[in-house]
Structure 1
Amino acid sequence: MSQEVLEAGAPPKRDGVPAWVVWTIGGVVLVVITLGYVLAIGDLAARTVSADRLLTQVEASEAAMKAAQDEFSTTIEPYSAGSMTDADREKLRADLADLAARSRDSIAEAGVGVGAVSVLPWHGNIAEARDTYLRHNEAWVAYLDAASQDPDEWFREQAEVNSTFYDARLPLVRALTMFDLANGLDRIEVIYAESDESGGGGQSA
């Protein structure tokens, strides 16, 4: 049998993809997948840190508000048992005006801390939570500023203070990551449970 006959019966030759090309493509795919995981983990870490910092500042703001409420209760307690003289009323009003001014400044300072929490542009939920809670802080500042000029303001219902407090709850929850590595949900529940346990007296911290 001649060489020509053997070649005629053989299958046609095919040009295969060089092995180095296959390895190169596989390497690129692996790098892309790895980079994707790294970016996802980095973004999760950034979200967790931002949400944790925001909640830390919110807790500081709430602590300042609660301190104002506690000192208010302590200030008026001696006058709750009996009748008051004109001198008593004058002293109480002066004490309440001073308390309002000091508490206003303390809460405003805490609000600066809330507003200073940096958030990446694509972390919209955290930015919304920060800005929504800031409205509550600002409502408290306005309330106490008014009380520093007219102490009777302490005893008036503050609808803006109360509504902004509850408006901030859902945005704060939405700011948390799915894994909630900083126990943010528990911290938010504590903030709102403490307000509920107060029985609704006074303004919502």
Structure 2
Amino acid sequence: MKRNTWIPLVAGAVAFLITLGIGGAVGTDWLTRNIEMDRLVTAIVESEASMGVVQERTAAVFDQLEAEGLEGTLADAQSEAATAELARIAVDGADSIGAAGREIAAINILPWHTKIKAAQEAYLLHNYAWQAYMQAAAEDPVAFTVDQPLVNRTFQDAQEPLEDAISIVGLFDVEARVANIFIDGAPQSSGEII
């Protein structure tokens, strides 16, 4: 009776190749998730930086107005110049924040990476709220003096989806970078994000 001694060898080789293929697919998916999160967090940091520039420039204008007002030297021309500068800041902010939002929206995320997609969409809502804020301020710079509850709420609402999207075994220090976004960008009671 002839035995087919090759069958166990072929079965073992097939099992090995299947295991190798599954392991490779899982590893590739893990790496892809980490790359997507790295790109998303990098774009979010750039968006937050654009928002920070707006806040710094706006604060400088208000500080100057306050100093001139305290000295009693604030004239109508200075007030008009400050209003024009605030409108320029809003236009510049709308441009830079809008560009950052487009970068975030352009990040390709695989369809089954639902947590990363949810994080992207949640942060985009915050970016869009800032764009609306900048458009309102460009039309009427008084918007800089009004609380912005939508900006603050969308910022807070983006935190949980971003934290949920972090891989358990992550690369690129994403967890610390996400934490820094929400430490550095804590909403203030005045409606501003710092």
Give TM-score scaled by structure 2 length.
0.92
Greater Rg by CA: 1
Q: Deviations over 1:59-113 (max 9, x none)?
A: 0000000010011111111111324322222111111111111111110011111
Counterparts of 2:2 and 2:153 in 1: how far apart (Å)? 71
Supply the AA of the counterpart residue of 1:155.
Answer: T
Task: Give distance in 1, aligned partners of 2:150 and 2:16.
Answer: 54
Percent identity over the alignment is 32
Query: Are positions 1:203 and 2:192 aligned together?
Result: yes
TM norm structure 1: 0.87
| Alignment coverage as a number of residue pairs | 190
Map of 1:18 onto structure 2: 4
Match of 2:41 in 1: 55
Asked if 1:87 corresponds to 2:73, the answer is no
Look up the SS of the partner of 2:185 in the other structure.
helix
Unaligned runs of 5+ in 2: none
CA distance in 1, matches of 2:191, 2:153: 13
Query: How far does residue 181 in structure 1 lie from its aligned partner after superposition?
Result: 1.1
Aligned runs of 1:92-111 on 2, under 5 Å? Answer: 92-111=82-101
Aligned residue in 2 for 1:10? none
Partner of 2:59: 73
Displacement, 1:177? Answer: 1.2
Partners in 2 of 1:54 and 1:185 — Cα distance?
12
**Any unmatched runs of 5+ in structure 1?**
1-14
Residue aligning to 1:121: 111
Distance 1:138 1:55 in 2: 17
From 8, 12, 35, give the equivalent of 2:21: 35
SS at match of 1:170: helix
User: 2:174 is matched with which residue?
Assistant: 184
| 1:106-147 deviation per Cα after TM superposition (whole angstroms, max 9, x unaligned) | 100111110011011111111111111001001000001000
Q: Give the residue type in structure 2 aligned to 1:142.
A: A
Which residue among 188, 193, 197 is the counterpart of 2:183? 193
